[in-house]
Chains A and B, each alone.
Chain A
Amino acid sequence: MAAGEIALVDSDSATVAIRLSGDWQVRDGMPALAVLEDGMSSRSGVSKVEFDVTELGEWDSVLVTFALQVSDFCASHKLELDRGGLPEGAQRLLGLAETVPEKSDARSAEQKSSFLARVGTAAQNGWGEATGMLAFIGEMTMAVGRLLRGRARFRMVDLGLMLQHSGADALPIITLISLLVGSIFAFVGAVQLEQFGAAIYVADLVGIAMTREMGAMMTAIVMAGRTGAAFAAQLGSMKVNQEIDALETMGISPLDYLVLPRMIALCAMMPLLCLYADFVGILGGAAVGVGMLGIAPSAYAQQTIGAVTYTHLIGGICKASVYGVLVALSGCMRGMQSGSSASAVGDATTAAVVTSIVLVVCASGVFAVLFYALGI
């Protein structure tokens, strides 16, 4: 049979019948109410609406939904509706849908808010965010205080596991990224420096850039995406699973037990990873310098050793240590602030990565000014 259609038939002067024909099924879509609306506006003196289903084929929820629309239409136009003509099953479903009155306040939450209200809400959220961050930093400071006095308790096994996760397990990705960054620097530098016949200075460029800036920065970004996100996801799902509640009711501080091992592990591993990244980056630069520019390996090494001073190296490692604190702090903070649903954990993970990267880049800016002012 054809898809559902409607037509209006005048039964008598005061009554209009809606003739339903064809199949009324979800897959065919629903005929528009417009026919009824147009038909009613062109008639006058009609007080009653009824259904004619003599040509109706198969039907499902579409028919009931349509009948509900007609019912609403009739109610708003003060028309009497006779549902007697509908199939019995459809009448029962209609009855079921109408037993519980519409909850009028259920939709209030979706009210459109004005621009000012949205600005206000955003400002309040921002303020809440800032105080939340300060509160977490405060609590962490106290936890570190307990740690220094030897009163913080966590399992050494956990610390070991975290050290492995945020240290050794990160080596492959750090190797890859640093090697590439080092060789990219070498390429970029080579193009310019070769014009002056000063290709050997590629070694200086790569060495100083890696140790001073890029080693720490790339390590921080990789660790933010890798370990910071993992921390947030782990802590967030522990929250969902009520594991954090269980710790609290046992009188064990989740900050000591869960957050401290993670913070310690990442803060301890970051400087080491940075040192490794510096070295691998310089190797990447050397591969380009020796392989493509034809610089003798010993000359390249000599040039690098001459260019890279301890100040550069230690400055970079200082930065890495600070970045480590920032990444660990954001990851753990977002995890602990996570809501208790699967999507909240996803949000927490995203927020952790965004927060870490923003903080790391800001800190990098501060360092740049600081190092400049100090003449380092």
Chain B
Amino acid sequence: MRSVSEDSQPSVHLEIRDLTMAYGSFVLQRDLNFTINRGDVFIIMGGSGCGKSTLLRHLVGLKDPAKGDVFYSGESFTESEPERRREILRGVGVTYQSGGLWSSMTLAENVGVPLGEYTDLTPREVSEVAGFKLALVGLRGFEDFYPSEISGGMQKRAGLARAIALDPEVLFFDEPSAGLDPISSRLLDDLILELRDSLGATIVIVTHELASIFAIGNNSVFLDAKTRTMIAQGDPKYLRDHAEHDDVRRFLRRGEEA
């Protein structure tokens, strides 16, 4: 396992260069430039409809950029061959806003799919590892449940268990705390930090939950819906008081004037 403390110098893990996102001729965000360091808890924030989730879809290759590129450890993702993309995606875990669990499979089978796909483990070993991953997110004993039989918060955690099945280097979260009660949301934040420390993973979170942003984020980018580009970058706690843009400060203070 990798550990954050080993490399004292922050090294760039993901680099987003001149990224422009568009649906047909409608440009959603243009000229995004930022880097995400290894071990960061990086927050992608912004108002509703500004393209946060779409940015995440670009980062994991679900959508191709209109212009620009995404680099994983210096390697271009957009221009990679499909086989190479697959290799890169192997080191990536994604959790989805609506869970994204395969409804025809039990939780253990869900977590087992990536293991079966990418490793040479025997079916018996796969189910043991899957059980362990489910235990990590607090779902021990739920191996044989179907996604429809558990609550929304548990589905999110099961989605997380599937995302960490292959001990990814980067973990993406799409609105992890949406629809969770405050306590579950807090527990999920703690779990994310715990995973960052134990897996040594880089965490990228799309969210607009202020409590989570300040509790776990150490770097961030703010996407603006009006100007359709990023207008702030840095530690969210610093941005709350010192962001150049009024909108960013207001956003981070829940609308109160700075």
Contact = CB atoms under 8 A, between A and B. Distances in A.
B113 A249 contact: no
B85 A251 contact: yes
Interface string B44-66: 00000000000001001110000
A166 B234 CA distance: 55
A171 interface: no
A163 to B, nearest CB: 15
Contact of B92 (A158, A247, A249): A249
A243 B100 contact: yes
Nearest to A234: B104
A249 B103 contact: no
A249 B85 CA distance: 10
Interface of A: 153, 158, 161, 238, 240-243, 245-252
A245 B102 contact: no
Main secondary structure of the interface of B (DSSP, over half): mixed
**What is the interface residue range for chain B against chain A?**
20 to 34
Contact of A242 (B86, B98, B104, B162): B98
A246 B117 contact: no
B103 A238 contact: yes
A109 B126 CA distance: 52
Contacts of B99: 241-242
A233 B103 CA distance: 13
Given A249-B61, A251-B90, A241 B100 contact: yes
Contacts of A238: 102-103
Nearest to B174: A242
12 contacts: A153-B117, A158-B104, A161-B104, A242-B100, A243-B101, A245-B96, A246-B96, A250-B89, A250-B113, A251-B85, A251-B86, A251-B89
Interface in B115-174: 117-118, 162
A238 B94 CA distance: 16
Interface string B76-100: 0000000001100110101011111
Nearest to B159: A246
A251 B86 CA distance: 5
Contacts of A161: 104
Given A243-B102, A247-B102, 9 more contacts: A158-B104, A242-B98, A245-B96, A246-B101, A246-B102, A249-B94, A251-B85, A251-B86, A251-B90
B114 interface: yes
B96 A242 contact: yes
A251 B117 contact: yes
